[in-house]
Amino acid sequence: MAFPRNTYDGKLIVIEGIDGAGLSTQTAAVKEALEHEGYKVCKTKEPTDGPAGAVIRLALTHRISLTAHSFALLFAADRMDHLHNEVVPELEKGTTVICDRYFFSNMAYQGTELDRAWIKELNRDCLLPDATFFLDVDPFVSEDRRSVRHRTEYFEKRETLARIRKEFIDVFEEFETRHDARIRTIRGDKAIMDVTREIVNDVSQLL
Ligand SMILES: Nc1ncnc2c1ncn2[C@@H]1O[C@H](COP(=O)(O)OP(=O)(O)OP(=O)(O)O)[C@@H](O)[C@H]1O
Ligand SMILES: [Mg+2]
């Protein structure tokens, strides 16, 4: 299976990790830092605010119940719409797109319950990112960070997150070896600024 390569003018940068790893913080900080250097950048996230994303959100907040299969299918549907409606049009304009979560999350989260090969198949027509950053944190760290919040989302149990973290490591190894993907693992327990600097230094080599 060969995931399509990005042949557009803009680069697709993905930030991944377990809940509370600092994905949203870094997506915003990296965008700001790259803009400061004069690049045209937009940030976006999955699940999106589109129709499939809205259903996913209902399930993440326990208002409806979905099976692991339905989750995987909805995430893939949401991603196809996201690429078609938002990501590709920006890449065509030459904009650098920074995406908070992508199909690696799909494979790591649903991969704890389902056959990963099937999830990969669902995502086979999705662009391979130009660079992916895995913010690796201990589930204890992410739990501490999240303890200030009130809601607990569907996947946010420490033992579950520990399994998902292992799954991420496995998925990234597979994408590096079999799909020649550019993956960088960064310790997410460092100071916010230091994490941002590491990502920006690496992305700068691509732009
Ligand atoms: N490197 C860091 N060191 C200390 N705290 C951090 C760091 N990065 C993020 N945080 C804090 O941890 C909390 C979670 O960060 P953030 O919302 O960016 O995580 P996330 O990965 O997007 O989480 P979610 O899965 O809920 O979307 C926030 O309060 C943020 O300020
Ligand atoms: Mg977030």
For the segment 94-131, what is each residue's pLDDT rounded down to a tens digit? 999 999 999 999 999 999 999 999 999 999 999 999 99
CA 161 remoteness from chain centre? 15
Give residue 147's pLDDT band: very low, low, confident or very high (50, 70, 90).
confident
The pLDDT value recorded for residue 55 is 98
The 10s digit of each residue's pLDDT in 55-74 is 999 999 999 999 999 999 99
Q: Is the peptide bond before 4 cis (omega within 30 degrees of 0)?
A: no
Task: Give the Å distance between the CA of 192 and the centre of ligand 1.
Answer: 9
Tell me what the mean pLDDT of segment 154-171 comes to: 88
Please compute the mean of the pLDDT values over residues 13-36 and round it to a whole number: 97
Ligand 2 centroid to residue 116 C-alpha, Å: 24
For the CA of 192, the closest atom of ligand 1 is: 1
Q: What's the mean pLDDT in 159-171?
A: 95
User: For residue 155, what pLDDT is reported?
Assistant: 66
Distance 2 CA to ligand 1 centre (A): 33
Sheet strands (E) in the chain? 12-16, 41-45, 96-100, 131-136, 183-187
More confident residue, 31 or 156: 31
CA distance 201 to 17: 19
Confidence of residue 144 (pLDDT cuts 50, 70, 90): confident
Size (the chain), residues: 207
pTM of the model: 0.95
Looking at residue 142, its pLDDT comes to: 79
Instruction: State the pairing for strand pair 41-45/131-136.
Output: unpaired
Domains, the chain, in order of start with CATH, read 12-204 (3.40.50.300)
Stretch among 31-45, 72-86, 131-145, 170-184 having the lowest mean pLDDT:
131-145
Q: Edge-to-edge, what's the strand order for the sheet holding 12-16?
A: 41-45, 96-100, 12-16, 131-136, 183-187
Distance CA 199, CA 184 (A): 9
Ligand 1 atom with least separation from CA of 100: 22
Contact 89, 44 (CB under 8 A): no
Mean pLDDT across the chain, nearest whole number?
A: 94
